[in-house]
Amino acid sequence: MTAQIIDGRAVAATLLGTIARDTAHFTETHGRRPCLAAVLVGDDPASHTYVRMKRTRCAEVGMDSRYIELPTTTTTASLVAEISVLSADPTVDGILLQHPVPDHIDERAAFESIAPGKDVDGVTMHSFAAMAFGGTGFHSCTPGGILRLLDAYDVPLAGRRAVVVGRSPILGKPVGMLLLARDATVTYCHSRTRDVADHVRDADIVVAAVGRPELIRGEWIKEGAVVMDAGYNPGNVGDVEYAGAAERARLITPVPGGVGPMKIAVLLEQTLAAAQSAHSG
């Protein structure tokens, strides 16, 4: 068996086209463009690249973007104050705090200073609760993108066994909640899990979200499984040994070009939704 590649770029392009159309309608109706504010602390080159990509996509779909760059020496209190100003600004619809922040900053405190209605990256506890309980709120963008890809390729979720390798609060944990809400049976694996390979071998759907290159070996993948690799490591390497996994899986995401493009698309979709919600209220 050779796996069919899940084309995240194509699915994201279709979604971005819809967002551009709906953004134009919003702008014509309300006389302003939706606005995403991106906050970046420090000088991490990868973070600067990611923020630049997001600003470029904003322009492509007709959204405004605001960029707040803060020095590495920024304190938690100063960052929280900056985000609080954006949360209170009616011209800002969505707020993105680029992850990671410098080690001395309390990232959770910074995330929680984002107003729930502007948490378009789905990083607050309010958003996590909404994902877990099916309430009103925004999805974490990478998990939300993974679900959109599974739907685009008609992958059945109800009753299927899903194994999530990784438990970060903005990727591993929320993607498990979203899968559980769709009636999948979810197992989390992490650094303290014994016999990770055995769990993966039983999985109908594998979500790799651990941040360790090729941790998941190709021979662990069950014949006919669906592999969603959310890892991105130096050298364009994911968390799954791609060549081996592609010989056994039915569907697999490449790295790059799989899960990654969906993150920005979902971020912009949720920014538009935030703007629409602000005007409907």
User: Which residues participate in catalysis according to the annotation?
Assistant: 54, 98, 121
Amino acid type, 173:
K
Angular region, 59: left φ>0, alpha ψ -120 to 50, beta rest: alpha
The Cα 232–Cα 237 span in angstroms is 6
Contact 36, 97 (CB under 8 A): no
The Cα 94–Cα 54 span in angstroms is 12
Amino acid type, 238:
G
Angular region, 4: left φ>0, alpha ψ -120 to 50, beta rest: beta
The Cα 14–Cα 92 span in angstroms is 25
Tell me, rounded to whole angstroms, the distance of Cα 213 from its chain centroid. 19
Centre a 10 Å sphere on the Cβ of residue 56 and count the other Cβ atoms it contains.
11
Helix H segments across the chain?
8-30, 45-61, 76-88, 107-112, 125-133, 141-152, 172-181, 196-201, 242-246, 260-280
- Apex CA 42: angle with CA 41 and CA 43, to 5°? 135
Contact 114, 125 (CB under 8 A): no
Phi, psi of 162 (to 5 degrees): -110, 130
